[in-house]
Structure 1
């Protein structure tokens, strides 16, 4: 029933976009509104796979609003070739993600997560509070370069035996909750950490605004670190039994085979290249492509590794970039934003509103879908309130990563809930704390810091 209803609703609004005559909106914008509303319905209902919706956006834009499609758009806003929309599949942001995914796949292949965990946790001797913080630090570090889903799965594979061995049920909950929270927050810290970041960077790039890898790290790092520390303090205070040490298996050894050492060198150089982009002038996507070529040419990775990359996520990112391009090209963004009297709202409250909306939506749909739908609006909002476009887009993208109140909010939460160690009520508590504090930081404190540092 849900599938049929979602598809029927999407078809209805798409047809409406072809038939509606909306004052102030060009015909191409009317058709784009139908595409936009159909995407909302399909992403929210998951009536068809999320990636199918993303590819459907591309197809609909080519057919309905491009100059090569079914309609004569020569006199319409948005008369651009179909190739401009299809180019989203090879966007520099998608190339950047391919490099990040290859490095993440290599980290899994050579068991980097287990080695990193062993190196950090061994000196802590299983003491509950330092170990909890150590687990969160390892998880967040992996989440900076691996998908939060893969990071969570890896950390549970490493830590679950020690967690289940704890006698105190609340301590088990604390350790199990720490992993998805740190994975989601860690993903906020780099462009390759999670798709919403890439979507924002891609949409800003279409506006001629370049956000480098290092820029993103500087923008997000203070907020993410503070959220992890607050989450750790809350979990340690409310749940952790400090008298029960963890029995950790911290004996993992670094793989010193030739392929592994070669991978470490290439991954290290790629990360260094991403962080030093302002010095050498090569874009992050170029650095990523070079890393992919090196890993394949030196036979560290092969075709089978490429097949296992998370291609659906890459297509989701491409769909989001194409959606943003279509919304902007057809004037739909200006029309939608014009319906709200943003000019009469103080800039700080605008940021609070967009952050809260992004967080709220991402608790019920995937963070990628939320970013795909909301971040394109950042351009029009920033123009209406005379805010920095980069500031609004970054706030919305980062807020989309904070949706973690429910088991269905994000895959890391689903993985944690599936262990049976995390009651939903406890997930809601930590989700409200981290998400609510994150919204306040992103809308009030972070913009002041960004402005002082000259980042927005």
Structure 2
């Protein structure tokens, strides 16, 4: 009698998404209301296409602030609505000079996205071949002995890694290194100070390079759309001095608040380097990529091209493969693309000029506007994601720069990107903060006190000192 093979029944697919909370439900209702309002009510001094773009812009603000749907979902929704409402493929009538629908889709393959793609793949390779942990183990050795010196070493290493890896991945890596250090410390304030040093340094270190954090990419994308090219090395010259000042100030604050004088730490950390063929090839490609990024002005090859060539080299040599590509932070890349597309839509429909015309910005003066925008970026990035804050503010700031004498578009875009990275006062402000809070060593009050002081001091230096420094260095 023939045997009949039966397949085991597949378990019913469960929806793992948590139910919408009160904040999300309110966000969805409010998003619908603000989206429909400009479509149903005539907006003075704004043409129909501008009214539609205003609907998209207000929708993006509400959804990014409330996170009623995932941030990346809002980003792609923005692109889709722009195509359907204001492009040459719009469902409603549009002028003949309306932007082509492809201009919005191109945001998904913007050169800045390709640059970040290369940075993400190198960062994932560093974790795959244990380069990140081995570097941390080697670099921490000179800083052992004094607890205060060890904290400085941890912050320097974290900042260096965060310049080329995502802040979240860097924080996760450093906390793996941090476990024996925390175990060697007495419970209480010292442990809280050491645990806080990692997210602070990760957030600050991310401002140092174009691939360090999404707000940098959003600013570079907006500047590129406006015809301003900022090289990899030029960004570093603008951001690294600020990074070092804030890092030193944050270290001084942490040791004063948390680490008593005379407390010692004795560590015995060893590195175990991968020496197989693929690991060695990865080391060579990663080193060559970083060197080419930092010497863009010497060889003339765009940092975006270098980032793509790194992807090519890693895949062709089979050091990384398709599964590694699948694990990349694609939602972050698409979130950045949504911000670029939003800025393109705001500028091409004249919405930026209309919004700026609602306020008498010109009466404030360039410095006051810079201070207001810097503080606005800092405040917003404490309560919503850094990427969302950058996506909302940078397009407006770019339009603002064209109408105020003495206000350079590069200055205000870079200031906003850097200010948005300094929002770190709450566990929800940034993933590194959430990781540190989850250890149970850090209280919300300690995190808030440290984050507010570091953020305010950093923003004051950023808006009052750095533009003058950049001008003296010939970077503007």
Q: TM-score range by the shorter chain?
A: over 0.9
8 Å Cα contact 1:167-1:244 kept in structure 2: no
What's the counterpart of residue 454 of structure 2? 434
Matched, 1:281 2:292: no
Please say if 1:252 is aligned against 2:271: yes
Shift in Å, 1:404: 0.3
Aligned residues: 454
1:19 partnered with 2:19: no
Superimposed CA distance per residue, residues 47-102 of structure 1 (whole angstroms, 9 cap, x where no aligned partner)? 11111000100100000110111122125xx7011100000000000000000000
- Residues 89 and 140 from structure 1, CA distance in 2 versus in 1: closer, same or farther, beyond 3 angstroms? same
Q: Name the structure 1 match of 2:426.
A: 406
Q: Which residue is 1:51 aligned to? A: 72
Q: Is the 8 A contact 2:137 2:177 kept in 1?
A: no
Return the TM-score normalized by structure 1. Answer: 0.97
In 2, Cα distance between equivalents of 1:90 and 1:270 = 20
**Worse overlay, 145-154 or 13-22:** 13-22
Partner of 2:140: 121
Structure 1 residues not aligned, in runs of 5+:
none
Rounded Cα–Cα distance in structure 2 between residues aligned with 1:99 and 1:33: 34
CA contact (8 A) 1:117 1:250 kept: no
Partner of 2:26: 5
Please identify the structure whose Cα radius of gyration is greater: 2
What is the TM-score when the length of structure 2 is the normalising length?
0.93
Query: Which residue of 174, 180, 192 corresponds with 2:199?
Result: 180
Give the Cα–Cα distance (whole angstroms) in 2 for the partners of residues 366 and 158 of structure 1.
26
- Cα displacement (A) at 1:168: 4.2
Residue-by-residue CA offset, 1:242-294 (whole Å, 9 max, x unaligned): 43322434111222221111111101111111111111111111001100010
Between the aligned partners of 2:178 and 2:145, the Cα distance in structure 1 is: 12
What's the secondary structure of 1:21's corresponding residue? coil
C-alpha displacement at 1:115, in angstroms?
1.2
Q: Secondary structure at the match of 1:57?
A: helix
How many Å separate the matches in 2 of 1:408 and 1:364? 7
- In structure 2, distance between residues paired with 1:26 and 1:219: 39
What is the alpha-carbon distance in structure 1 between the residues aligned to residue 361 and residue 372 of structure 2?
11
Residue of structure 2 aligned with 1:338, choices 357, 360, 365:
357
Matches within 5 A, 1:148-163: 148-163=167-182
The CA deviation string for residues 118-176 of structure 1, in whole angstroms up to 9 with x for no partner, is 21111333321211111001100110011101111110111123213311411101110
- Paired with 1:435 and 1:124, the residues of 2 have a C-alpha distance of 26
Q: How does 1:41-440 map to 2 (within 5 A)?
A: 41-74=62-95, 79-386=98-405, 387-440=407-460
Distance 1:423 1:278 in 2: 45
SS, match of residue 48 in structure 1: coil
Counterparts of 1:253 and 1:392 in 2: how far apart (Å)? 44
